[in-house]
């Protein structure tokens, strides 16, 4: 680890010393993990799969991988490894989805969310495990007594929530406005999308606000690169 360079980088970004120390510890611990578990690997050669393996290892060893990835992601940015930093953000989002309950989507049908919870499908992460395909969604509909189109809505919301920045409200805004897949969002011009969403909110009374330009651009760029996992 280039501790001196990373410290200078963090200080230039006006980070307090406590945060610098915390992130440095996390990166060093990750380097120890690589040394012990991924011989020959360095932070600069990582893949998304390597980060997922680290999450699995962390869970087995009682370590908070989400907190660790904050420091790792920042160090990757210091190394100008933006693609890997994005991968870290993506993995962090997937960790969050393991705790994010379907009932917490702003426009969720609470009765349907309860029925899914009764058959063990409570979280966005779990739904993405068992509802990716048309066949799987048909089985879920039969087991839960929920219409297939309602299952698909939950799947689309959970899928949109995989992107960093899309969770409780933003995923619902995109879904309800018709931007319900990453392919549709990826084809948007950020400025045009903002105007479209503003008009949608004004017309429907949706309880939210359109994204700022930076957030809209981030959504579009993320949607171009995020892996497609849902069968329609």
Q: What is the pLDDT of residues 124-177, one digit of tens each?
A: 999 999 999 999 999 999 999 999 999 999 999 999 998 877 667 889 999 999
Q: Where in the chain is the domain with CATH 1.10.150?
A: 3-97
Q: What does the H/E/C string look like for the chain? A: CCHHHHHHHHHHCCCCHHHHHHHHHHHHHHHHHHHHHCCCCCHHHCCHHHHHHHHHHHHHCCCCHHHHHHHHHHHHHHCCCHHHHHHHHHHHHHHHHCCCEHHHCCCCCHHHHHHHHHCCCCEHHHHHHHCCCHHHHHHHHHHHCCCHHHHHHHHHHHHHCCCCCCCCCHHHHHHHCCCCCHHHHHCCCHHHHHHHHHHHHHHHCCCCCCCCHHHHHHHHHHHHHCCCCCCC
CATH topology for 3-97? DNA polymerase; domain 1 (1.10.150)
Q: What is the pLDDT of residues 82-137, one digit of tens each?
A: 888 888 888 888 888 888 899 999 899 999 999 999 999 999 999 999 999 999 99
pTM (2 decimals)? Answer: 0.78
């Amino acid at each position: 680890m280039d501790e001196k360079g990373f410290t200078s980088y963090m200080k230039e970004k006006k980070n307090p010393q406590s945060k610098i120390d915390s992130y440095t510890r996390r990166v060093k611990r990750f380097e120890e993990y690589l040394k012990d578990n991924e011989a020959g690997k360095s932070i600069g050669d990582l893949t998304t799969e390597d980060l997922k393996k680290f999450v699995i290892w962390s869970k087995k060893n009682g370590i908070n991988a989400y907190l660790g990835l904050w420091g790792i992601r920042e160090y990757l940015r210091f190394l100008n490894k933006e693609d890997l930093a994005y991968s870290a953000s993506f993995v962090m989002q997937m960790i969050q989805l393991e705790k994010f309950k379907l009932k917490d989507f702003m426009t969720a049908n609470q009765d349907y969310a309860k029925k899914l919870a009764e058959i063990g499908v409570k979280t966005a992460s779990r739904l993405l495990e068992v509802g990716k395909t048309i066949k799987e969604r048909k089985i879920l509909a039969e087991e839960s007594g929920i219409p297939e189109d309602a299952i698909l809505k939950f799947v689309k919301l959970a899928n949109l929530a995989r992107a960093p920045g899309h969770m409780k409200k933003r995923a619902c805004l995109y879904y309800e406005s018709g931007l319900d897949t990453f392919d549709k969002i990826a084809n948007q011009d950020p400025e045009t999308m903002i105007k479209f969403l503003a008009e949608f909110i004004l017309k429907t009374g949706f309880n939210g606000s359109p994204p700022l330009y930076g957030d809209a651009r981030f959504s579009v760029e993320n949607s171009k690169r995020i892996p497609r996992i849902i069968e329609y």
